[in-house]
A = this chain, B = another copy of it.
Amino acid sequence: MSEHPFDADTRVDSVTDDTFAATITDRWNAIGGRPNGGYLLAVCLQALRRVMPFPDPLVASAFFLRPTLAGPAEVRTELARAGRSMATGTARLVQAGKETVRVTATFTDLARATGRTLIVGERPHLPPAESAMDPLGGRAMAGLPITERVEYRTATMPGWMQGKPGGDPSMQFWMRFRESREADVLALALLVDAAYPAVMEIGATGSSTLELTVHLRAHPAPGWLACRATTRYVIAGSHEEDFEIWDSNGTLVAQSRQLALLT
């Protein structure tokens, strides 16, 4: 079986102890015709993971500085601190001599986390994925390669897809890789940014991410992922988007927030 596109397209090869070669593909291009920000974050985390004494990103913050294009890139890593249970470092994605993305992340071993658990938030309210609707009608959207890689299930057809934005920039849906590969923690870093922006429901035609912070809270169980995306504050053209991913066991596994500009 050939390598899954997520693994193939986020692979990094050592150039020196702290620098890695990557190839950014156009297979995760999203609205705007550029590689998805979550995909670029995942590439940076793959490189950082190679210099970290712990396997799992726990929190990562990505600043998108310039457009990143399909083609060769370099990831330059730097370890800021390695402690007994956590380590933090920065990765810079560089193309043609220019830095396009800067990621800082803290890694840990999620399997060794201990302590109290208390869940106040509710998981998304969705019909079972098997009986939910595929808003894309079983195929990818033309010109949107990320929809060849990721599929979605919704309770009802989103308003904006019918040319009638519903007015509420909030949505719940199922998500998974279209080709058979279960999501792991690294994949969650991509998936928090892999759906259409919630602001499409208020008539926006696109959104450009300035910064994306993701918290990886647990290893996801196999199966469909229940997601919730919410924007509450559009102010003078900028907006936050909060995103949650819950696994098939009903565990919150990832939580993200981004600041983006309406385009």
Contact = CB atoms under 8 A, between A and B. Distances in A.
Given A61-B63, A113-B236, A115-B238, 8 more contacts: A61-B104, A61-B211, A86-B210, A120-B168, A121-B232, A121-B233, A218-B235, A257-B257
A213 B211 contact: yes
Interface in A216-263: 217-218, 231-238, 240, 251-252, 255, 257, 259, 261-262
A172 interface: no
In the complex, the count of this chain's copies comes to: 2
Contact of A113 (B81, B168, B238, B259): B238
A-B complex: 9 closest residue pairs judged by Cβ atoms: A115-B237, A121-B232, A113-B236, A61-B61, A118-B234, A65-B81, A120-B232, A213-B213, A59-B211
A174 B87 CA distance: 36
Most interface-central of A58, A102, A114, A238 (chain B CB within 10 A): A238
Interface string A170-181: 100000000000
Contacts of A117: 234-236
A234 B116 CA distance: 7
A104 B106 contact: no
